[in-house]
């Protein structure tokens, strides 16, 4: 079991989660117990009203003061196609998680952070477009290792979301096959199915997907896959569930909070 404490600076709320009885859940929990320092504590998608366009452009300006590599900006009418285009800047400038490009590695810390910020903002905007009814919380940690998934671990990937479920977060730079499908982004040059896990996680607080809608969506995705030329050993559609909330908390209550105060394992 573990708990997440959310805060708004004046008030806290404790959320408790029970681990699933799978090998990958136990391996993920072993990583969570190592108490890595929280890196992102404010990554709430489809949660609060935010001026994300303005925030994106501000971070793009920080990058361009160092090196004018981003030649476009967002506006309130920016489409998913535009977000796909802007995400390519992040992919090309950032490089892989463990290596990074020369540009990224030589950039000042504030520029590196601005680049990471635009990636997060793009995903928040995509959630507003594609998953308006699927508020999520993502928690990432500093200096956590990435560990290869086994073939057995990969059997647990799913895109049938359930309310209050914790999933292992995507820990690569690029897009999963499912994201390419959702974003209608066939020209993405950084398609990377998830092959590793870390302590990072995402919690979905929206309504679960009804079974009949899931089967319809699965059929549509499978038909789409037949038109693609992917050459991956494992497509790994979706995310891997590892835990579930054990209390009922109305989202109207959760919306009052905007920061992760702590994540604590209870053995």
Range of 75-79, 207-211, 254-258 with top mean pLDDT: 254-258
CA distance readout (Å), 244 to 163, 186, 209, 263: 8, 33, 15, 15
Residue in 162, 160, 158, 244 with CA at minimum distance from that of residue 208: 162
Residue 6 pLDDT: 97
pTM above 0.85, yes or no: no
Tens-place pLDDT, residues 253-262: 998 999 999 9
Q: Does the pLDDT of residue 49 top 70, yes or no?
A: no
List, in order, residues 6 or more apart from 240 with CB less than 8 Å away: 24, 28, 149, 153, 156, 157, 158, 167, 168, 197
Q: Does the pLDDT of residue 131 top 80, yes or no?
A: no
Q: Does the pLDDT of residue 21 top 70, yes or no?
A: yes
Q: How confident is the model at residue 158 (pLDDT cuts 50, 70, 90)?
A: very high
Bigger pLDDT: 81 vs 201: 201
CB 2 within 8 A of CB 246: no
Tens-place pLDDT, residues 101-128: 999 999 999 999 999 999 888 888 877 7
Q: Does the pLDDT of residue 68 top 90, yes or no?
A: yes
Domains in the chain, CATH or no CATH each: 1-46+137-267 (2.40.100), 47-130 (no CATH)
Residue 197 pLDDT: 97
List, in order, residues 6 or more apart from 265 with CB less than 8 Å away: 1, 2, 29, 32, 33, 35
> What's the CA gap between 55 and 60, in Å, rounded?
9
> What's the CA gap between 203 and 46, in Å, rounded?
12
> What's the CA gap between 41 and 44, in Å, rounded?
9
């Amino acid at each position: 079991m573990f708990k997440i404490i959310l805060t708004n600076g004046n008030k806290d709320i404790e959320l408790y989660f029970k681990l699933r009885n799978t090998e990958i859940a136990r391996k993920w929990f072993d990583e969570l117990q190592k108490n890595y320092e929280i890196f992102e504590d404010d990554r709430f998608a489809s949660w609060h009203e935010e001026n994300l366009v303005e925030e994106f452009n501000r971070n793009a300006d920080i990058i361009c003061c160092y090196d004018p590599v981003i030649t476009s900006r967002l506006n309130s009418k920016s489409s998913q196609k535009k977000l796909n285009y802007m995400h390519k800047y992040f992919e090309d400038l950032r490089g892989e998680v463990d290596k990074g490009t020369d540009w990224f590695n030589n950039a000042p810390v504030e520029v590196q952070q601005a680049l990471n910020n635009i990636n997060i903002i793009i995903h928040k905007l995509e959630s507003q477009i594609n998953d308006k009814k699927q508020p999520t919380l993502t928690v990432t940690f500093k200096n956590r290792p990435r560990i290869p998934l086994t073939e057995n671990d990969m059997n647990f990937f799913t895109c049938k979301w359930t309310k209050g479920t914790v999933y292992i977060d995507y820990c690569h730079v690029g897009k999963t096959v499912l994201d390419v499908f959702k974003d209608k982004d066939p020209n993405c040059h950084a398609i990377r199915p998830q092959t590793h896990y870390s302590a990072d996680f995402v919690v979905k607080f929206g309504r679960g997907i009804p079974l009949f809608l899931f089967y319809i969506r699965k059929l549509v995705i499978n038909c789409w896959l037949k038109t693609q030329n992917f050459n991956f050993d494992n497509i790994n559609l979706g995310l891997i569930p590892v835990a579930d909330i054990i209390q009922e908390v109305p989202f109207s209550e959760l919306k009052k909070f905007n920061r992760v105060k702590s994540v604590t394992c209870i053995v």
